[in-house]
Structure formats: structure tokens, C-alpha cells
Structure 1
């Protein structure tokens, strides 16, 4: 059942969302969008502080809740789903920021599994851009990708790095390695 939940992860600005949008638009695959950006937009609109630059613990908790909810919704809906990050990403964020790791998060990351193969979009300086929601510098993007890869590997996932190539070639790479 969890083999139908495919994660595409990596550092910020590495082309994950663009790739997922392409796979949805051109191949009809079900996609779960990244929680972080949605949380940031919502918090900024409501003048909330669950933001990575304001209250990292609250932001981490909001990402955890989003990852749990979207995983359950995808399982309930059935079929193959591609995720822009998964529960282990939240664990990686907490590690990267030096936050205390809630037992519920650790347990969820260990027990609520995704497909064994996880796709990692490595930090890619040629396409990296900052914006209102992505304030990290490229060095932090590199550290994030490395930490996320380590977390998935520690949890027993096979991390398959996406090639640094065109969007179409990246999509073909994912499709060739997905359990379709």
C-alpha cells in the first residue's frame, strides 16, 4: 500500500515542485503539493508566526500536521501519488534547525512509510532562486538536501538522486523508476 506513495524530496529550489507539476499536467499523475509553502502563505496572510524565520517549532508542527493529513488523504483516495516531501522531511527540518524532535514525529516518520525508493532533487545552483517564501541561501539549500538524504537513508529508504538535466529528462527518469 505505501508503495503507491512516491516522495520527491531535496533542498529548496531544486526543481521538485516544477517536476511534480509537469508529471501531473503531462502524465496525469496525482500530486501532493509541498506543505511548507502553503503554510508560509497562510501564515503571512494571517500575520501568524508559524514561519521558518519567526517560530521554527510552530512551523515544524504545522508541516508535521500537513504531512500526516495529506498522506492519509492519498491513501484514502487510492492510486499512485507523488509527494513534494514526506514525513521524514519534517524530521530532517527539525534536525537541521536543532529543534527538539517530538516523539510523535519520530514515530510517524519511522512507521508511516512511503515507497522504498525516494527521489532526491540535489541542490542545483543554476536553477536556484530566492523569493518571498524561500529565503535560504544556496549553502543552506545544500545542507538541507544532505540532511534530508541522510534522514531517508537512516530510515531505510533507497535515495535515488535526480539528474541535473532538462525537465523532460527528469520526468522520464522518475517514470522509469516508479512502480507504475
Structure 2
């Protein structure tokens, strides 16, 4: 069933969320990004599992979110666009210079997606920070490179999104999943 799970990954501020929102408007099923939702939840409850407080705890919450998202997406039994996947948690830990525990690699083996993964290159012209996205441009670039390395090492084929208008990106994704 993983053939219908289409991941869009890349560094922060590269247009992933806008693209996923546009695809959703066109009727494609989608799942939200773990990181942004976890940050909002942790801030709301005064939690410490935040990328600027406890990166390891934040990564564990992201892993749980991504595994649950995978299960829910499979249950839809139709194409689903995912804002990141389990391998992104590995990439995040690597960017942070933290060890990647063996259970994360096991999760990446068990929770698979379509072999072709869309990756959004760093795009300085649209990069912006906000309340949840506090990374500097250099960290955004490093995150992109880390996602390339992790997804490639796990046997995925990367499809770079064009640095183009939102309608052009939507057409690109649709043409590669239909």
C-alpha cells in the first residue's frame, strides 16, 4: 500500500506547506507536518519537547507522529501527500549533531513510502522565518542536504521540485503521482 504515500520533504522555508495546501485544494488527501504541530502543542502546554529546548524529546515526538500518520494514510487506501516522513526525523537529528538511535533506523525500514520522494531545494527567494520556523538560512540548507543523504541512503529516488510558481509545482507533483 505504500505506493500511494507520497512524501514531500526538504529544508524549512522551501515551499512544502504551500504546495501541500494547493494540492489539498485540488482534492488530494494530505497529512500535516509533525514539527510545526508539535511545536504548537508544546508551546500551548508549556512543554519542553521543542527544537530550542530538548531536541531529542522533540525528535521522539516527531517519530511517534510520523508513524501514526503513516498508519492513518495507509487506511485511506488512495494517494496521500505527506508533509515529511520518518526519514526526516533521522535527518533532523543529524543536522542537530545528535546520535540517531537504532530504533529510528528500524522505523525507517518498516514505515516505507512511494520510492519516489519529492524534495524541495533550498530557495532563498521564498525562505522566511516565523513563530515555529526559527532556523537560519544555513540550517535550512543543511537540512535539505541531510534529507538528500538520508532518503538516498534508504533507497528512495529523489524528485527535486522545480524552483517555479506554485501552479507549476502542483502540475509537477500531479504529473509524477498520476
Given the two structures, how large is their TM-score scaled by the length of structure 1?
A: 0.97
Matched, 1:9 2:9: yes
After TM superposition, the structure 1 = structure 2 runs for residues 38-49 of structure 1, keeping only pairs within 5 Å, are 38-49=37-48
After TM superposition, the structure 1 = structure 2 runs for residues 42-81 of structure 1, keeping only pairs within 5 Å, are 42-81=41-80
Q: Distance in 1 between matches of 2:75 and 2:171?
A: 27
Q: Distance in 2 between matches of 1:145 and 1:45?
A: 28
Shift of 1:76: 1.6
Question: Partner residue of 1:89?
Answer: 88
Question: Partner residue of 2:101?
Answer: 102
Given the two structures, how large is their TM-score scaled by the length of structure 2?
A: 0.98
Q: Distance in 2 between matches of 1:77 and 1:22?
A: 20
Shift of 1:95: 1.3
Number of residues of Structure 1 aligned to a counterpart in Structure 2: 178
Question: Partner residue of 1:119?
Answer: 118
Question: Partner residue of 2:145?
Answer: 146
Shift of 1:44: 0.6
Question: 1:84-116: per-residue Cα shift (whole Å, max 9, x none)?
Answer: 000000111111112222222111112321000
Could you tell which deviates more after superposition, 90-99 or 163-172?
90-99
Q: Distance in 2 between matches of 1:45 and 1:166?
A: 34
- The 4+ residue runs of structure 1 with deviation greater than 6 A are none
Q: Distance in 2 between matches of 1:140 and 1:162?
A: 19
Q: Distance in 2 between matches of 1:74 and 1:171?
A: 20
Q: Distance in 2 between matches of 1:94 and 1:141?
A: 14
Shift of 1:159: 0.5
Q: Secondary structure at the match of 1:114?
A: coil
Question: Partner residue of 2:129?
Answer: 130
Q: Distance in 1 between matches of 2:131 and 2:153?
A: 32
Question: Partner residue of 1:158?
Answer: 157
Q: Distance in 2 between matches of 1:145 and 1:138?
A: 11
